[in-house]
Amino acid sequence: MKKIIILIPVYNDWDSLIKLLNQINDNIKNFDHFYVDCIVVNDASTINEPHITKPSNIQLLKIMNMKKNKGHARCNAFGIRYIILKEKFDYLILMDGDGEDRPEEIKSFFEQLGLKPDKSIVAKRVKRSEGFIFQLLYQLHKIIAYIFTGEKINFGNFSCLTKSDVQKISSKPSLWSSYSGTVKKYLKPLNEIQSTRGLRYFGPSKMSLFKLILHSFSIISVFKYRVFFRSIIISLFLSLFKISLGVNLFFLQFLLVLFCLMIFVVSLRENEEELLNSQQNLESVKDIAH
């Protein structure tokens, strides 16, 4: 029997977590050849944890309480480090705790593992539920990422990794800044399932415009040297049209320089030392048996 750990970061959204755990429980009940644990990373929530019971089909439920709030990406990085160092498992599933990663799609992961057990799986977003402006910006992000990295990054955190792939990325400095960028850079080949972005269980989205831009740049910055090289090539190509572009050439080249500078600044979020020492931010571990 294969053991799967589901890693879920949470900040204050306890109602969503409880609903998610119950829905995970419903969706794994017919897959008795998998042994499923859930590990919740509480990112120093300011709202007290309510009474939480372990659903029947989840074998073990742990809540890990952080001393200081570090943000969503770093919760995932901490969880990956903890699990590879402390837990026995065969596969690791990462998913958000607010309902936007739909628990019914876990069944698709299980089915793909039955077909290709040695290949990690990402949830390719084929449909989103956000408003028009967000979806427009998301498409723009994908285009920019492809132009400057040459990679189609069409997935987020929702994924299922083999233990060997978890080991590969668990010490990469970029993991501290961007999970999806790190997976795309270091794990090949990847299997895919088609995924629909769900609606939050409770409350509005916490993704502001600033966070969306930072998220996009964090992904792209994983490939920063490729970005710098491609920017030089694009700048030289634009120079061929110096006469026709006129003063616009300098404006476009200035934008390229500014873009590269922003990518470099965001890449400073990558921090191998903080990643490797992330266990120091762990305050307590709570096992929920019932």
pLDDT of residue 231: 97
Give 95-143 as a 3 state SS string: CCCCCCCCHHHHHHHHHHHHHCCCCCEEEEEEECCCCHHHHHHHHHHHH
Q: How many residues does the chain have?
A: 290
Residues 6+ apart with CB under 8 A from 61: 21, 37, 38, 40, 52, 54, 55, 287, 288
Q: Is the pLDDT of residue 175 over 90?
A: yes
Helix axis angle, 132-149 to 224-239, nearest 10°? 80
- CA–CA gap between residue 175 and residue 262 (Å, rounded): 19
Q: Is the pLDDT of residue 1 over 90?
A: no
Structure tokens at 183: 């997976």
> Model's pTM, two decimal places?
0.92
- Superfamily of domain 2-134+153-204+273-288 in CATH is Spore Coat Polysaccharide Biosynthesis Protein SpsA; Chain A (3.90.550.10)
Nearest CA to 120 among 58, 175, 176, 193? 193
Q: Which of 32-46, 126-140, 187-201 has the lowest mean pLDDT?
A: 126-140
Structure tokens at 252: 């476009």
Q: Can you say how many angstroms the Cα of residue 171 is from the centroid of all Cα atoms in its chain?
A: 16
| Residue 182 contacts residue 222 (beta carbons within 8 Å) | yes
- CA–CA gap between residue 71 and residue 107 (Å, rounded): 28
List the chain domain ranges. 2-134+153-204+273-288, 224-265
* Mean pLDDT, rounded, for 74-84: 97
Rounded to 5 degrees, what are φ and ψ at 5?
-105, 130
Rounded to 5 degrees, what are φ and ψ at 98?
-105, 0
* Mean pLDDT, rounded, for 239-254: 90
| Residue 29 contacts residue 4 (beta carbons within 8 Å) | no
- CA–CA gap between residue 152 and residue 144 (Å, rounded): 10
pLDDT interval class at 208 (50, 70, 90): low
